[in-house]
Structure 1
Amino acid sequence: MPPREYNTVDEVEALHKDEQFDMRFPSYLGFWKRSVPGLDEEPRFDMYDEPHLKRKKQILKDHPEIEELYGYDTNTVWITLATVCAQVGLAYLFGRVLTDWHWTMVLVAYTIGGSLSTQIGIIFHEFTHNLCAATSLQNRWVGNLGNIPMIIPLAQSFRRYHLEHHTYQGVYGYDPDLPLEWEIRLIANDPIKKFFWLIIYGVMYLGRGLAQQKQLSRWELYNWAWTLVCDLAIYQLCGA
């Protein structure tokens, strides 16, 4: 149901004293209440549309010159290659050379390795939106390249579910960025559970897909095979 039209924020607030007005007015009309940890047991839901498409239309109407900035940046390919080489290089360093530097390895893995893995996550997002190369196929292979040091096949599943997120943004049961009912019940408002849940959040894309009984796509199957081959190659190169 679309939100009712009002003239001013004051008029709306006068009608709904007990609810908080969405200050994205007038681009987005609606009322919302956020879920407060420690007070609310259930997440908040509303029936209003999401604002991104409206914002896009309004921004382009006011500033059409923004479209001149559209396009892809092939520098991301070189950044991806450098990031992958750095990850594999560190694996070789501690797997073949500094084999007794255990605590140093843990520290480097947490700081440098964690930062590089975050960079890979950003690259996944860029290739998903075809921002790394001219064609969709080329972008997919940028994603596969970035997946080499990640051990598990993430690139193509991220692409699939992130695009579904944009298609069904905010729609429960369809937007894969929203937690499923069992996640809500399991994690609830427990800060410790939330901490560990966030650590494995990337894997939750796969978990939600399995929970919703979604079949793996052709590219996801390719990603699994590619990752298996890369993992075996890294194991042989860098050692156990």
Structure 2
Amino acid sequence: MGNQVSRDDFEWVYTDQPHTNRRKEILAKYPEIKKLMGPDPHLKWVVMLMVLTQLVACFLVKDLPWKWVIFWAYAFGGCVNHSMTLAIHDISHNVAFGNKEAKWNRLFGMFANLPIGVPYSTAFKKYHVDHHRYLAGDGLDVDLPTEFEGRFFSSLQRKLLWLFLQPAFYSLRPLYVNPKPFTRMEVVNIGIQLAYNFLIYHLWGAKPLVYMVAGSILAMGIHPISGHFIAEHYMYLKGYETFSYYGPLNWITFNVGYHMEHHDFPSIPGSRLPLVKKIASEFYDTLPYHTSWIRVLWDFVFCESLGPFARIKRKYKVAKEE
């Protein structure tokens, strides 16, 4: 394999995303799947336990040497914080308190945001809606890399660097690709997060604060859990734009690996997505899937057919008219 990727553009398609039709077909055959929609009563308790766990961890690292602060940030805190971002992903679909309690879901997302150290839950919500509605949409879906990313990060070494820089690209890309007005809820999110960060610093000093933020950044870069960023929508097989992952890390990531099922039924909590696959097995068993996020990252770096350009892309004319 050479060091240079073989793609020089996205895979442009002129069809609608496949999830809409498959959802209709599955519901026509298995209407009982509708019963899986709605809030997950256990989610809020799991999230509260995770926030408490990280609070205790902040206390425990306050007197450690810096090298151990960073080690535990990557090995433990980063795992919890990355898992928490996926809880926030679930909360963004209103599955903590239901669609009728949208405000409580927003506020609870801010609470789940606390151990991460960087305020983002409210901004994530407003962009993630577009990711589902306009999957792979040019100028609309900010999950897609930019053309600069595709052209510059085109060698083995640069793809590895790109994986390290994933937190920066996920934070800054929306401001360039599809900027949206700043909202009052984002101000609230920032205010609550800064107050919590100041409280941690006031109580126990800088090390717990670094533990939180460094863990979040490191676990979104080169980390086994971060393989889901690439596994979900990168074209590991021509013509397929969404992939599921059926492996053990689903246990600590709110089943985000059931990504095909999630895009088919975004209002079903992650805890119930395995039931979707079980009920409608004939719709999913024939689709390609991943079994290792580590293998996903390895192949992304070393396979010349993979890179930031290995994504399906489409235009949504109606959306642009709006």
Q: Same fold judged by TM-score > 0.5? A: yes
- Contact 1:87–1:113 (Cα < 8 Å) also in 2: yes
Match of residue 119, structure 1, among 63, 70, 83: 83
- Contact 1:161–1:205 (Cα < 8 Å) also in 2: no
Query: 1:180 Cα shift?
Result: 1.8
Name the residue aligned to 1:30.
none
Once residues 51 and 84 of structure 1 are traced to their aligned partners in structure 2, the CA distance between those partners, rounded to angstroms, is 37
Extract unaligned runs of 5+ from structure 2.
207-322
Name the residue aligned to 2:200.
234
Match of residue 18, structure 2, among 41, 47, 51: 51
Query: 1:218 Cα shift?
Result: 2.3
Match of residue 191, structure 1, among 132, 136, 156: 156
Once residues 32 and 148 of structure 2 are traced to their aligned partners in structure 1, the CA distance between those partners, rounded to angstroms, is 45
- Contact 1:140–1:156 (Cα < 8 Å) also in 2: yes
Name the residue aligned to 1:65.
32
Query: 1:44 Cα shift?
Result: 1.7
Match of residue 43, structure 2, among 67, 76, 80: 76
- Contact 2:17–2:135 (Cα < 8 Å) also in 1: yes
More deviation in 65-74 or 196-205? 196-205
In structure 2, relative to structure 1, the CA distance for the partners of 1:181 and 1:40 (3 Å cut) is closer
Query: 1:132 Cα shift?
Result: 0.8
2:189 maps to amino acid: N
Whichever of the two has the greater Rg, that structure is 1
Once residues 198 and 108 of structure 1 are traced to their aligned partners in structure 2, the CA distance between those partners, rounded to angstroms, is 21
- Contact 2:134–2:141 (Cα < 8 Å) also in 1: yes
Aligned pairs, how many? 200
Question: The residue matched to 1:49 in structure 2 has which SS?
Answer: coil
TM-score by structure 2 length?
0.58
Once residues 58 and 147 of structure 2 are traced to their aligned partners in structure 1, the CA distance between those partners, rounded to angstroms, is 38
Once residues 197 and 74 of structure 1 are traced to their aligned partners in structure 2, the CA distance between those partners, rounded to angstroms, is 38
Match of residue 181, structure 2, among 215, 219, 222: 215
Once residues 73 and 202 of structure 1 are traced to their aligned partners in structure 2, the CA distance between those partners, rounded to angstroms, is 28
Question: The residue matched to 2:12 in structure 1 has which SS?
Answer: coil
Name the residue aligned to 1:106.
70
Once residues 25 and 6 of structure 2 are traced to their aligned partners in structure 1, the CA distance between those partners, rounded to angstroms, is 37
In structure 2, relative to structure 1, the CA distance for the partners of 1:61 and 1:175 (3 Å cut) is same
- Contact 2:84–2:112 (Cα < 8 Å) also in 1: yes
- Contact 1:168–1:175 (Cα < 8 Å) also in 2: yes
**Superposition CA RMSD, Å:** 1.9
In structure 2, relative to structure 1, the CA distance for the partners of 1:40 and 1:200 (3 Å cut) is closer
Could you list the structure 1 runs, at least 4 aligned residues long, displaced by more than 4 angstroms after superposition: none
In structure 2, relative to structure 1, the CA distance for the partners of 1:116 and 1:205 (3 Å cut) is same
1:122-173 deviation per Cα after TM superposition (whole angstroms, max 9, x unaligned): 1111111111113111111121011111121111111111111111111111
- Contact 1:72–1:133 (Cα < 8 Å) also in 2: yes
Query: 1:235 Cα shift?
Result: 1.0
- Contact 2:8–2:151 (Cα < 8 Å) also in 1: no
Name the residue aligned to 1:145.
111
Question: The residue matched to 2:67 in structure 1 has which SS?
Answer: helix
- Contact 1:173–1:180 (Cα < 8 Å) also in 2: no
Matches within 5 A, 1:88-107: 88-95=55-62, 99-107=63-71
Query: 1:199 Cα shift?
Result: 4.0
Once residues 158 and 200 of structure 1 are traced to their aligned partners in structure 2, the CA distance between those partners, rounded to angstroms, is 18
In structure 2, relative to structure 1, the CA distance for the partners of 1:139 and 1:53 (3 Å cut) is same
1:73-118 deviation per Cα after TM superposition (whole angstroms, max 9, x unaligned): 13111111111121122122111xxx24443333322111121012
Once residues 131 and 59 of structure 1 are traced to their aligned partners in structure 2, the CA distance between those partners, rounded to angstroms, is 21
Once residues 167 and 24 of structure 2 are traced to their aligned partners in structure 1, the CA distance between those partners, rounded to angstroms, is 31
Once residues 220 and 196 of structure 1 are traced to their aligned partners in structure 2, the CA distance between those partners, rounded to angstroms, is 30
- Contact 2:118–2:193 (Cα < 8 Å) also in 1: yes
Once residues 17 and 195 of structure 2 are traced to their aligned partners in structure 1, the CA distance between those partners, rounded to angstroms, is 41
1:132 and 2:96 correspond: yes
Name the residue aligned to 1:15.
none
